[in-house]
Structure 1
Amino acid sequence: MLTGWRLSLSKLFIIPQRYVLAIMALFAVANAYTMRVCLNLAITQMVRRDVVSEGDENYDPDACTDYNIPTNTTMKLADYIMRDSSSLFEWSEATQGLILSSFYYGYVLTHIPGGIMAERFGGKWVLGLGLLSTAVCTIITPIAVKSGGATALFILRVVEGLGEGPTMPALMAIISKWAPKSERARFGSIVFGGAQIGNIAGSYFSGLIMYDGSWENVFYLFGGFGFAWFILWSLICYSTPNTHPFISDSEKKFLNENVQALIHSEKQRLEPVPWKALLRSVPLWSLIVAGIGHDWGYFSMVTDLPKYMTDVLKFNIRSTGLLSAMPYVAMWIASFLFGLVCDFCIKRNYHSIMTARKLYTTIAATGPGICIILASYSGCDTTLAVFWFIAAMTLMGAYYSGMKINALDITPNYAGTTTAMVNGIAAVSGIITPYLIGILTPNSTLKEWRIAFWVCLAVLVITNIQYLILAKGEQLWWDDVNKHGYPPNWKHGDLPVRKNDSEKLKMETNNEKK
């Protein structure tokens, strides 16, 4: 009877369960990003903007014309300023940068604990409960900021980051159990493309809501979506195919025969994380440094592009929302195309996995860096500037077929922990970049922003060069000692050996000595 019930439920799903999970994971990432980035646009309406006239100390001769300022006699400039000051807060650029970076103070702390918990207990509830806590924080944001100001908002965003920190490690731990090797780039494009959906929805709908309403409604909307996703995720998604109650037998058989982490888990129980070898792994640290470069460029765009469009290019909030969303539409589409091309070339043996990771990482690092420099030299030509921002994010879509899924190549058995290290340490860029840009752009002039973009290009290029030199594309020895053995220069004790393979390993060692 139970088998018949399971088969009946499995027929309700037209597409395979691994792609049901991929789509739900896509929406998980999308929700995470909408709740993360909605403040980036909302803060432009929460803070008072002073109108600087010619002759003032901070007047910028290269400033773009602000067409939002009334030029007729029906509304005097003083009246416009007074209306604009209905925004509640007077925060400096540095203070705004500190608030925008506060999320990542909590975010970096829970990556590694989240990854370990996901590997040990499964990623479903680690991911689900983490995003649920983020949804709660998002909904109460207006209450917190009105009652406690910048300090309360800073603390709330840190707590929000704590809840969202396990998102990527838990997702990677789940994907490692659901994605066959031949479909990894495709899975990465689907799941992590959710970041662009989140950025698109967060930017576009925030602009619409705040143009006709108040900034508070942005947080209520996206927090509510987070609640809705959690309910659906709890009902239909599971950590592994073998714990899924209504997956088809054919798909379960296929996954158990083609997913390395499942093959591994069927034969032996995973031992504790080999921290000594992991922390000494040059390819892993190379991946971490590449992640720092990616996040530096990505967070510069996600966090500060709305401010650049509002403060420098002088777009109104509706235009800022729409135009801030367009680069992420391009990045989302490009990530799928890069993923399909990558999988196709690997299957046809046109290039190796390692070549693919380095090639797409290079495209995604140097291309966007050059494009944002060109955007800053476009001056007040808003069409050309937006074109270059779109080009930058289009090329950044290659990251999802490059270093973003490299952890699955080098360490499939500890993907949750290693992804936690990569994402957690790399997210330090999210702490540094908003605050640094706030310091570099105290008056938010075009020349000040140009310096910030040059710094971004330098970081992208340097981190990419080291990745080209040091990265690897195959499973590292410490991820499965029983399969690969110990390197000749390993002089600091053995890694834990799985009990059911200990006798076999001893025999192999004795034979080698003979």
Structure 2
Amino acid sequence: MDVNNDQSKWKRTCSKFFIFPQRYVFGLMGFFAIFNAYTMRTCLSVVITQLVVPRNYSKETLERQFVCPILEMRNRQFLPGGEFEWSQELQGYILSSFYVGYLLTHIPGGILAQQFGGKWILIFGILSTACFTLATPWCTVNFEAYGLICLRILMGLGEGTTFPALSCLIAQWVPMTERSLIGALVLGGGQVGAIVGNTISGFVLKHFRWELVFYIFGSVALLWCILFALLCYSDPASHPFIKKEEKDYLLAEMGSIARRHDLPPTPWGSIFSTCSIYALICSQIGHDWGFYIIATDLPKYLNDVIQMPIEKNGFYSSLPFGVMWICSVFSGFLSDVIIKNGAVNITTIRKFNTLLSGLGSSVFVILASYAGCHRFLVLTSFTIGMGLMGPYFAGMKLTPIDMSRNYCGIIMAISNGFGCFTGIIAPSTVGLMTPNTTMREWRLVFWIAFFILVASGIIFAIWATGERQEWDEPDKVQK
């Protein structure tokens, strides 16, 4: 009996059921990886509004419109009404604690993904986050704020591996001419995750107990882990069911379809002596500051200042992320078309997308802060502003993969890791700057975001590059 022949026939038979190209299957599953990561990460931002004791504003505060009047008296039942007496400062620490752990595992995640492949590192990140998400209600009830802070740090430790692992997978699976679209689709999964996380959280909080939010998102993430383990592989060469036509195409486009096992040590000196690395870091910090302010604190702003009822809060705070995702995918598609036609080079398209995102989003965030209690103008400005942040994902977010195919996990870990500092600092800063949760206090928060977004976009436009670096070639690595 010829065992090898039987196995080959079995693989050919199974590959017939894999109708779609495997790089698209990976793109879809990668999208849902970030989607799950963000539903679990951001849902607390909505839930926390219902965990804390209601805030009572003085008559003067309401009359002078430091906060907005409630839409309808019957909606008072949907304003915060929890049992925990957590100050604004403590809430800021709770929301930022996730990023303490998130920061610590970026570079280890990138190194492990390079050594062992991105598949299992990514699964580990999502699986551990799912387990801690499921444990959140028990931890909150029994240990309150400080127990929740510790649990969120542990969640961050697991999820810190996801972006470096996905960067390695994108580099192995996606050719340059398709990278903007598939990369924007995968890395933009966070926007859809924020949409679903905020919307479902608002619905569940209105009709059911708050604990159910964490049980739903944790369970969905566990299901993803099972499917990803069955369907996806670290590189095309190790995929047992990929069609020969796709292998040949990827080999022609990328020159290699196997993950390298003979890479020299990471060229840390060359990496940190590259000017464009620092431009990338600055842009990452700017993007993350603006994004985390909105992702983490928009539900609180709509709840505390605009006084939006909880069932509307979840929906309206998700709208900006929906537009952002649409813009990220569209800009990715358009960038691929431009690159294929040779109209401009990769560096130019990455710089344009990044600068447009920084300048455009910052302007509309400021306009939202001056829209007062005109709820339609507030929501419209936030939505347009976040929409204009979408091209970041066809801009600086893909630059680590452009610069280095072999060490992109490390480059992503470095840039994303520095960005994590904003995840720690931004929510805590908001908590410290808004002790009375008034419109004036929040306006200063948005002005700071404006200057950080503009400055980081300009720095990237001047010094960044999308070209592959010399030190990425193994035979040119400086030892």
Give the corresponding residue for 1:495: 478
Tell whether 2:101 aligns with 1:96: no
Contact 2:54 2:81 in 1 (8 A): no
Give the corresponding residue for 1:51: 56
Give the corresponding residue for 1:12: 17
Give the corresponding residue for 2:213: 218
Alignment of structure 1 residues 18-57 onto 2, 5 Å: 18-55=23-60
Q: CA deviation at 1:269?
A: 2.1
SS in 1 for 2:348: helix
SS in 2 for 1:413: coil
Tell whether 2:123 aligns with 1:107: no
Contact 1:411 1:475 in 2 (8 A): yes
Give the corresponding residue for 1:439: 432
Contact 2:198 2:318 in 1 (8 A): yes
Q: Judging changes above 3 Å, is the alpha-carbon distance between structure 1 residues 473 and 179 closer, same or farther for their aligned structure 2 residues? A: same
Match of 1:337 among 321, 330, 354: 330
Q: Judging changes above 3 Å, is the alpha-carbon distance between structure 1 residues 85 and 388 closer, same or farther for their aligned structure 2 residues? A: closer
Contact 1:180 1:260 in 2 (8 A): no
Match of 1:240 among 235, 248, 260: 235
Q: Judging changes above 3 Å, is the alpha-carbon distance between structure 1 residues 263 and 5 closer, same or farther for their aligned structure 2 residues? A: closer
Q: CA deviation at 1:409?
A: 1.1
Give the corresponding residue for 2:133: 138
Tell whether 2:111 aligns with 1:128: no
Q: CA deviation at 1:348?
A: 1.2
Task: Measure the CA separation in 1 of the matches of 2:10 and 2:95.
Answer: 49
Tell whether 2:295 aligns with 1:290: no
CA deviations 1:357-403 (Å, max 9, x no partner) are: 10000111111110010011110000111011110111111011100
Tell whether 2:195 aligns with 1:190: no
SS in 1 for 2:264: coil
Q: CA deviation at 1:313?
A: 0.9
Q: CA deviation at 1:86?
A: 5.1
Match of 1:380 among 342, 363, 373: 373
Task: Measure the CA separation in 1 of the matches of 2:48 and 2:334.
Answer: 39
Task: Measure the CA separation in 1 of the matches of 2:28 and 2:74.
Answer: 46
Task: Measure the CA separation in 1 of the matches of 2:55 and 2:282.
Answer: 39
Contact 2:167 2:408 in 1 (8 A): yes
Q: Which amino acid aligns with 1:337?
A: F
Give the corresponding residue for 1:66: 70
Match of 2:411 among 406, 413, 418: 418
CA deviations 1:151-178 (Å, max 9, x no partner) are: 0000000000000000000000011000
TM-score calculated relative to the size of structure 2: 0.96
TM-score calculated relative to the size of structure 1: 0.89
RMSD: 1.8
Q: CA deviation at 1:263?
A: 7.3
Tell whether 2:183 aligns with 1:179: no
Q: CA deviation at 1:55?
A: 4.6
* Structure 1: runs of 5+ lacking an equivalent: 72-79, 486-493, 497-514
Give the corresponding residue for 1:270: 263
Task: Measure the CA separation in 1 of the matches of 2:148 and 2:72.
Answer: 28
Q: CA deviation at 1:257?
A: 2.5
Give the corresponding residue for 2:250: 255
Alignment of structure 1 residues 325-364 onto 2, 5 Å: 325-364=318-357
CA deviations 1:104-142 (Å, max 9, x no partner) are: 000000000000000000011101011101000000101
Give the corresponding residue for 1:512: none
Task: Measure the CA separation in 2 of the matches of 1:37 and 1:60.
Answer: 32
Task: Measure the CA separation in 2 of the matches of 1:235 and 1:59.
Answer: 59
Match of 2:312 among 303, 314, 319: 319
Task: Measure the CA separation in 1 of the matches of 2:239 and 2:258.
Answer: 17
Q: CA deviation at 1:84?
A: 6.9
Contact 2:50 2:81 in 1 (8 A): no
CA deviations 1:28-64 (Å, max 9, x no partner) are: 00000000001010001111122213157x9854321
Q: Which amino acid aligns with 2:23?
A: R
Contact 2:109 2:164 in 1 (8 A): yes
Tell whether 2:370 aligns with 1:365: no
Contact 1:119 1:414 in 2 (8 A): yes
Aligned residues: 474
Task: Measure the CA separation in 1 of the matches of 2:257 and 2:81.
Answer: 57
Q: Which runs of 4+ in 1 moved over 6 A?
A: none
SS in 2 for 1:455: helix
Q: Which amino acid aligns with 2:360?
A: G
Task: Measure the CA separation in 2 of the matches of 1:51 and 1:43.
Answer: 17
Contact 2:79 2:310 in 1 (8 A): no
Q: Judging changes above 3 Å, is the alpha-carbon distance between structure 1 residues 264 and 123 closer, same or farther for their aligned structure 2 residues? A: closer
Task: Measure the CA separation in 1 of the matches of 2:351 and 2:426.
Answer: 25
Contact 1:101 1:434 in 2 (8 A): yes
Task: Measure the CA separation in 1 of the matches of 2:65 and 2:36.
Answer: 41
Task: Measure the CA separation in 1 of the matches of 2:454 and 2:317.
Answer: 24
Task: Measure the CA separation in 1 of the matches of 2:29 and 2:37.
Answer: 12
Give the corresponding residue for 2:389: 396
Q: Which amino acid aligns with 1:472?
A: T
Task: Measure the CA separation in 2 of the matches of 1:373 and 1:386.
Answer: 12
CA deviations 1:431-471 (Å, max 9, x no partner) are: 01001011111111111110000000000111111111111
Q: Judging changes above 3 Å, is the alpha-carbon distance between structure 1 residues 55 and 286 closer, same or farther for their aligned structure 2 residues? A: closer
Task: Measure the CA separation in 2 of the matches of 1:60 and 1:142.
Answer: 38
Q: Judging changes above 3 Å, is the alpha-carbon distance between structure 1 residues 450 and 413 closer, same or farther for their aligned structure 2 residues? A: same
Q: CA deviation at 1:261?
A: 5.9
Q: Judging changes above 3 Å, is the alpha-carbon distance between structure 1 residues 167 and 149 closer, same or farther for their aligned structure 2 residues? A: same
Task: Measure the CA separation in 2 of the matches of 1:303 and 1:227.
Answer: 24
Q: Which amino acid aligns with 1:365?
A: G
Identity of aligned residues (%): 42
* Structure with the greater alpha carbon radius of gyration: 1
